Amino acid sequence: MSEFLLQNCWLIPLYGFIGALLSLPWSLGLIRTTGPRPAAYLNLLMTGLGFIHGSIAFTAIWFEQVQPRELVLDWLQVADLDLSLAIEISPVSLGALEVVTGITLLAQVYALGYMEKDWSLARFYGLMGFFEAALGGIAISDNLLLSYGLLEMLTLSTYLLVGFWYAQPLVVTAARDAFLTKRVGDILLLMGIVALSSYGAGLTFSDLASWAETSPISPTIAALLGLALIAGPTGKCAQFPLNLWLDEAMEGPNPAGILRNSIVVSAGAYVLIKLQPVFTLSPVSSVALIAIGSVTAIGASFMALAQIDIKRALSHSTSVYLGLVFIAVGLGHVDIAFLLLFSHSFAKALLFMSIGSIILNTSCQNITEMGGLWSRMPATTTAFVVGSAGLVALMPMGMFWTLQRWLNGSWEISWWLLGVLLFVNTLCAMNLTRVFRLVFLGPPQPKTRRSPEVPWPMALPMVTLTIVTLLVPSVPQSWPFWLSLTPPLELTNALDIELGIPLLIASGVFGLVLGATIDLRRADARPTQTFLRFWQDLFAYDFYIAKVYDVTVVWAVSTISKITSWIDRFIVDGLVNLVGWATIFGGNVLKYNVSGQSQFYILTILLAVSLLLLWSGITGQWSAVISNWLSSANY
């Protein structure tokens, strides 16, 4: 039985898609008498079946030591063109699929309470099923073409879920910006895929390593190819300069935000990790990955500190940790990149479940208007604390063991990377402590005085994920053989072992102390000092990147569009209209010359021929004059 389910594990992503199809009668309003809840239950059933199927398959390949395999579906074969869709069955792919289906199942149960009174609950669950299908397909895909198609599905579902409450203008703007920002990276990624296939590389991830070793392409082409392939994950992972969409996407429902900040952004990074052999062809690609990741990790850490919206304060930290993944891929530390994604997904999903509970009870997202919730919402408080500890490198949580493995001597670490890790860890701990103090500590505020604990559909997945987050450290500690970790190196530089880990612990403690001692403003969130206000506005408005886009890219596109519209209206349409008016005018004039007399027609022909001869003679004389003048000038 387990072998049968393992062999057919490619069906797991289809469970979510079937759930989306089954919810259509309620989504389209064909069934009204039962209300939208049956659609939610059907999606929960299909997601649960997918999780059970994946669990059995993962157990079979894990404990029974089944060899990794590949399922290939021939799609199109024409001449030299061979397009096939490949599915990878391995501990890594099935483990990623289990993370996707597990978090999706918990998010859907959570949505039963959060979206209980929403009139379009069936449509929401249908979109969540579509979301799950795309994510699950990316997890087990071993084909770049198939992954690209699934990433496009992910972009579409992100647009639909961010714009779920489409009656609000701000929501419509956020959905549009998220869609267009991702499209920029997707177009460049498609160019890279076409270029990769044209240079003889197979579109299977497992073949990229062998192709990269014998690649005949020049360094310039390798650099351009690597940059094109980086562009797609840059947009999907909300990295600079395509990072603003994730902040705006917080206008969507929070259950979708749970997936978006935990596993959706990880899908782009997952594809990036599989493309890593291509980036070894040119140092430009590696430098670009490190630069993008470093700028995003440092810049987004400052952005998160200046936010007073609780969802935006946490969404920027998503970009921070995905920036660390980019750095790891750029350095060739693929195993660390996988562990970063794994540790971050559970902690961030738990944090968004806890803040969703707060938003539902208080109908508020401004952290300066909250306070005193720790005694009123104990399960939510516990979830926030555990999620924060899992995100910061605090012993013995998952992120600590991930970063500890990065610094334990298995990899050669430079001073600049250690500085980035310490800086990010300090600011992340400081930001989460700041949010915790404003939301859970202090005296109750008017909007938090009557805030009971959330109902069981929200509390059950939150408590379950709290336990899972506490168990996450056992993965990098007890089960390292699912990765391809290299043995520890005999490094002459003792920075990694002697200083790295103690400094990492000290940075987390230092961030907690800073977050616990800084002055928090509630009634007056903006400082009166001009110097402090300048820096707060700079960070809060995302370094004015949106303004920079307005005066550069948006202005250029708008100007070119206006010029093109003017040319089309007055030149192209003008010439066409001129021909039409000339024809109408000529026809109206000539109709009065129809006399029926042959003499008149012969006279008309003679006059026309005479005019043509006269015109040709004049033009010929002018041509001779011009030729003589040019010849004399050259002489």
In a domain, 453, yes or no: yes
- Mean pLDDT lowest among 105-114, 418-427, 587-596: 587-596
Q: 589 exposed, middle or buried (CB, 10 Å; 0-12, 13-18, 19+)?
A: exposed
In a domain, 202, yes or no: yes
Which of 540, 564, 579 is a domain's end point?
A: 540
Q: Above 80 in pLDDT, residue 66?
A: no
- Mean pLDDT lowest among 80-89, 122-131, 292-301, 486-495: 486-495
Q: 152 exposed, middle or buried (CB, 10 Å; 0-12, 13-18, 19+)?
A: middle
Which of 588, 607, 626 is a domain's end point?
A: 588
DSSP, collapsed to helix, strand or coil, labels residue 143 as strand
pLDDT at 516: 85
pLDDT, mean over the chain: 82
Q: Above 70 in pLDDT, residue 169?
A: yes
Say if residue 511 is in the same domain as residue 435: yes
User: 64 pLDDT band (50/70/90 cuts)?
Assistant: low
Residue in 441, 424, 630, 568 with CA at minimum distance from that of residue 510: 424
* Domain extent at residue 577: 541-588
DSSP, collapsed to helix, strand or coil, labels residue 466 as helix
Tell me: cis bond preceding 277? Omega within 30 of 0 counts. Answer: no
User: 620 pLDDT band (50/70/90 cuts)?
Assistant: low
Tell me: cis bond preceding 396? Omega within 30 of 0 counts. Answer: yes
Name the E strands within 9-145: 69-78, 81-89
Say if residue 233 is in the same domain as residue 250: yes
Say if residue 226 is in the same domain as residue 317: yes
Residue 372: which residues within 8 A CB-CB, separation 6 or more? 440, 441, 442, 443, 444, 445, 448, 449
pLDDT at 593: 65
In a domain, 556, yes or no: yes
Q: Which amino acid is at 280?
A: T
Q: Above 70 in pLDDT, residue 284?
A: yes
In a domain, 425, yes or no: yes
Say if residue 153 is in the same domain as residue 287: yes
Average pLDDT over residues 187-214: 81
pLDDT at 385: 92
User: 489 pLDDT band (50/70/90 cuts)?
Assistant: very low
The token pair at 221 is 């082409």
343-396 per-position pLDDT tens digit: 889 999 999 999 999 998 888 888 888 888 888 888 999 999 999 988 888 877
Average pLDDT over residues 174-199: 85
Say if residue 485 is in the same domain as residue 441: yes
In a domain, 329, yes or no: yes
Average pLDDT over residues 270-284: 88
Average pLDDT over residues 3-14: 81
Q: Above 60 in pLDDT, residue 43?
A: yes
Say if residue 447 is in the same domain as residue 560: no
CB 323 within 8 A of CB 246: no
Say if residue 305 is in the same domain as residue 374: yes
pLDDT at 365: 85
Give the Cα-Cα-Cα angle 291, 294, 299 (nearest 5 degrees).
120
pLDDT at 44: 92
pLDDT at 557: 86
pLDDT at 545: 83
In a domain, 601, yes or no: yes
Say if residue 324 is in the same domain as residue 191: yes
User: 410 pLDDT band (50/70/90 cuts)?
Assistant: low
pLDDT at 488: 42
Q: Above 60 in pLDDT, residue 479?
A: no
In a domain, 550, yes or no: yes
User: 486 pLDDT band (50/70/90 cuts)?
Assistant: very low
Q: Above 80 in pLDDT, residue 146?
A: yes
Average pLDDT over residues 411-440: 87
User: 201 pLDDT band (50/70/90 cuts)?
Assistant: low
pLDDT at 76: 67
Written as one string, the DSSP assignment of 377-397 is -HHHHHHHHHHHHHHTT-TTS
Residue in 250, 360, 256, 269 with CA at minimum distance from that of residue 308: 250
Say if residue 512 is in the same domain as residue 560: no
- Crossing angle of helices 310-331 and 283-305, in 10° steps, is 160
Say if residue 534 is in the same domain as residue 550: no
> Would you tell me how many other CB atoms lie within 10 Å of the CB of residue 520?
15
User: 8 pLDDT band (50/70/90 cuts)?
Assistant: confident
Helices (H), 141-252: 144-162, 169-198, 205-213, 219-236, 244-248
Q: Above 70 in pLDDT, residue 497?
A: no
In a domain, 21, yes or no: no
Say if residue 389 is in the same domain as residue 404: yes
User: 496 pLDDT band (50/70/90 cuts)?
Assistant: very low
Which of 523, 540, 557 is a domain's end point?
A: 540
Average pLDDT over residues 93-118: 89
pLDDT at 628: 67
pLDDT at 384: 92
232-258 per-position pLDDT tens digit: 889 888 888 888 888 888 888 888 889
Q: Rounded to whole angstroms, how far apart are CA atoms 81 and 185? A: 26
pLDDT at 462: 92
> Would you tell me how many other CB atoms lie within 10 Å of the CB of residue 336?
25
Instruction: Give, in order, the Cα–Cα distances in Å from 161 to each of 151, 264, 274, 519.
Output: 15, 12, 27, 37
Share of the chain above pLDDT 90, in %: 15
Number of domains in the chain: 3
Q: Rounded to whole angstroms, how far apart are CA atoms 280 and 32? A: 57
User: 443 pLDDT band (50/70/90 cuts)?
Assistant: confident
444-470 per-position pLDDT tens digit: 888 888 888 888 888 999 999 999 888
DSSP, collapsed to helix, strand or coil, labels residue 82 as strand
Alpha-carbon 286 to chain mean position? 20
Average pLDDT over residues 300-313: 88
Q: Rounded to whole angstroms, how far apart are CA atoms 145 and 207? A: 14
385: left (phi over 0), alpha (psi -120 to 50) or beta: alpha
Q: Above 70 in pLDDT, residue 596?
A: no
Helices (H), 472-544: 474-478, 501-517, 530-540
pLDDT at 493: 46
Say if residue 528 is in the same domain as residue 402: yes
Instruction: Give, in order, the Cα–Cα distances in Å from 52 to each of 12, 55, 65, 135, 349.
Output: 9, 5, 19, 17, 21
pLDDT at 354: 92
- Mean pLDDT lowest among 158-172, 449-463, 621-635: 621-635
